[in-house]
Amino acid sequence: MAARPQLAAPKGTSAAPTTPAQAEPEKDPLGRTTPKGTILGFLAASHKKNFDLAEEYLDPRFRGKGSEDLIQQFAVVLDKRLPAKLNLISDKPEGSLADPLNPNREVVGRIGTSQGTLAIALERINDKKAGQIWLFDAGTLSAVPKVFEEINTAGISEIMPQALVIHGFLGIPAFEWMVVLLGVPLLWLVAFLLDHGLRWIAMLIWRRRSRNQDVDRPKVLSQPGRLLFVAIAMGALRHYLGLSLLARQIWSDAAGVVFLIALTWFLIRLARWAEGFISLRLRRRSLEGTASILRLGRRLADILVIFCGVIGILYLFGVNVSPALAGLGVGGIAVALAAQKTLENVIGGASIILDQAVNVGDTLKFGTTQGTVEEVGLRSTQVRTSERTLVSVPNGQLATVPIETISARDKFWFHPTFGLEYGTSSEQVRTILQNMKAVLGSHSAIDPNTYRATLIGLGTYSLTVEVSAYVFAPAWEAFLPIQEELLLRLMRIIEEAGSRVALPSQVVIQGRTGLMPESITVENKGSNSGFANG
């Protein structure tokens, strides 16, 4: 028997506990430097029936005579009862340090017994040859015989050929590999048959109630639903298959991966359904522009769900995701700075769509651009000008400039000015104004509270008459014929009153006074009607 290594000092003694700050010893050839290495090493040795090697993982007080029975019993206890959470066991020399007051003790799992919960614990000792190593502590090993008596060792191995039980790979019997590798396809087949059976039953019930024999079989379990069924079935069966701890670990990892994939798939489909449902309700309210925001929100939700699924799978396999999350945060800041303009346009597009400042079909005027909106996207808005060119305006720019929505006006301002030639008498002017007011007041398209016709000034070359009224029209194209009709009728009023619109003319003054010539030609730049509509 080899010399017994020195045990760690118990609580209350003056021996200083081992701390991670001490110099790192040479690695133990048996892998006992870390808690996970001790667990895996003991399981591998016990499955190979190498009892001399397996007892090196036990507290020195339990080695020697009788250790073979203890090792076999302890291996059964671990295989049958220890939770399959090997990925969460610390792989660091100092352990997980879950109990800072007792850093040399590591609890790797808890199992239920008739006497309560038993902690499977390791103790870190300082071995003269191997240095600081982790061994199963005395408290755990002393409770093994009683726990073993409570365990029913019968399982699926009882009905398997001995060749598949004896031979294996990586410490796992061949029949357990068969169960693990064929379990998922077989459960998927069961889910497929269950789905078709439930569809037939649902179809028969629906046909009987609706009395419609043309009803097709409805879908009961979608593909994510089948995967979810497989994951739940795997979780339920792991307690009844009687697999070893390593096989249960692989089985549990597979069930966890299938569950996370099914959940991710289901959430992505749910987000797609929610997008369609909300889009339909918004279209009924004429809010089509929000479809871009919904699409962006759904894509961001899909990315977030997939990212969470990947993080969950990494955590399932014991990968520390904290550095990855920290790196992702730094990378996100870098991407945000690099894509500042793009984000500005996207945020501007979201604000435009949510505020409904711009809608498809609106006629806008901003800056020097005027046209009809054809598409409102998240990055840019496309405007068709009167020259039939297509202008793409970044939403970040559009959100910062004043926008005049021409198509949103409820009335059009009819605002021509007329220059009457001099020679028109005051009575003629009065008659012209009265007749103009009568025409405006009798027109059905003019707001009766807004029309007026007024002599506003005696210009140098003409008498200026201003006409103002608001015309009801649904669009500019409908306003133009009304404006044309009103202008013609107002021109007729001027002609019937015996006056004319002032035109450019020349006045010739004849005579000779002092040094002036016999004739001077003066050009009359009289106002040629303000037919321009304000």
Note if the pTM is more than 0.75: no
Q: How far is CA 499 from CA 344, 422, 446, in A?
A: 61, 9, 26
Cα(300)–Cα(292) distance, integer angstroms: 12
Cα(370)–Cα(406) distance, integer angstroms: 9
pLDDT at 56 over 60: yes
CA 233 to chain centre: 30
pLDDT tens-digit map of 69-123: 888 888 888 888 888 888 788 888 888 888 888 888 988 888 888 888 888 899 9
Cα(464)–Cα(528) distance, integer angstroms: 10
pLDDT tens-digit map of 109-167: 888 888 888 888 999 988 888 888 999 998 888 888 888 888 765 555 555 555 555 55
pLDDT at 212 over 60: no
Name residues whose C-beta falls within 8 Å of residue 474's C-beta, 6 or more positions apart in sequence. none
pLDDT at 32 over 70: yes
**Helical packing angle, 174-210 and 223-237, nearest 10°:** 130
Q: Residue 346's closest CA among 304, 398, 389, 306?
A: 398
Query: If DSSP states are collapsed to H, E and C, what string results for 39-104?
Result: HHHHHHHHHCCCHHHHHHHECHHHCCCCHHHHHHHHHHHHHHHCCCCHHHCCCCCCCCCCCCCCCC
Least-confidence region, from 156-165, 219-228, 355-364 = 156-165
In the block, which residue shows the tokens 């009103």? 486
Greatest mean pLDDT range, 166-170, 392-396, 507-511: 392-396
pLDDT tens-digit map of 280-320: 776 666 555 566 667 777 888 888 888 888 888 888 777 77
- Give the burial string for 145-173 (b: 16+ CB within 10 Å, else e): eebbeeeeeebebeebeeeeeeebeebbb
Identify whether the C-beta of residue 464 lies closer than 8 Å to the C-beta of residue 457: yes
Domains of the chain by start residue, with CATH: 35-153 (no CATH), 173-337 (no CATH), 343-408 (2.30.30.60), 411-524 (3.30.70.100)
Query: If DSSP codes are grouped into helix, strand and coil, which group holds residue 354?
Result: helix
Cα(486)–Cα(320) distance, integer angstroms: 80
